[in-house]
Homo-oligomer: A and B are copies of this chain.
């Protein structure tokens, strides 16, 4: 029936999907290499394989784009990831800053049965931590993200944090995965889903200054663009 995708391939497909969310069009070799933490030639050879298996359409020097099958796999893994994260927080007392790496491994190794049971225990949620939408069980739909980015707001506005992204575009325009320490720091200064912040000013270089009950905090552009909020 469906071609088999190894764990590693699943990660490539998931990351192609995630990069593509940020960055419409084809996904480049170097963006993927950065995200996957491997060399560019490694990516090239993998893209060829993924293309042969029909998961993606790959054009030399142009980049990769998911096909229907590849997207289904990406959504499947993303669903696992977000369900696992939420489960670990709600049922095993993890802090939201600690679950990402655990989920990044387990996402490839839970059975469909365990996925169902975890989803069920959580009440079959449509959103995971920080409002990240969870693909539906049949992998046909994924809730739309209704939020805006903190970095797009202007001085004086008050917003509610909805979501702190795990993956974002870093300072050199390279995608990266935020690590626990970074998430922890943001938590410490009160950048936590559900909490409010006021935009104090937007300084040069897109630096943004926000305030909350923990005081005033300056965030660089890349960071403020990775925090999703809702205006009130």
Q: Is A109 an interface residue when CB atoms closer than 8 A count as contact?
A: yes
9 A-B residue contacts at CB 8 Å? A92-B118, A92-B121, A93-B117, A98-B113, A102-B110, A102-B111, A105-B111, A108-B109, A109-B109
Main secondary structure of the interface of A (DSSP, over half): helix
* A114 and B91 within 8 A (CB): no
* B94 and A117 within 8 A (CB): yes
Q: Shortest distance in angstroms between A71's beta carbon and chain B's nearest beta carbon?
A: 25
Extra contacts, 4 of them, besides A91-B91, A92-B118, A92-B121 (Cβ < 8 A), are A92-B117, A102-B113, A105-B111, A106-B106
Instruction: List A66-99 residues whose CB lies under 8 Å from chain B.
Output: 88, 91-94, 98
Contacts of A88 in B (CB 8 A): 114
Q: Shortest distance in angstroms between A119's beta carbon and chain B's nearest beta carbon?
A: 11
Closest to A118 in B: B92
Do A109 and B111 contact each other (CB < 8 Å), given the known contacts A92-B118, A117-B92? no
Copies, count:
2
Chain A residues proximal to chain B, CB less than 8 Å:
88, 91-94, 98, 101-102, 105-106, 108-111, 113-114, 117-118, 121
Contacts of A114 in B (CB 8 A): 88, 92, 102
Closest to A106 in B: B109
Contacts of A118 in B (CB 8 A): 92
Contacts of A93 in B (CB 8 A): 117
A105 to B98, CA, bound (A): 22
Contacts of A101 in B (CB 8 A): 111
Contacts of A91 in B (CB 8 A): 91
Contacts of A110 in B (CB 8 A): 102, 106
Contacts of A108 in B (CB 8 A): 109
A92 to B109, CA, bound (A): 17
Contacts of A106 in B (CB 8 A): 106, 109-110
Contacts of A121 in B (CB 8 A): 92
Q: Shortest distance in angstroms between A98's beta carbon and chain B's nearest beta carbon?
A: 7
Closest to A108 in B: B109
Contacts of A102 in B (CB 8 A): 110-111, 113-114
Closest to A117 in B: B92
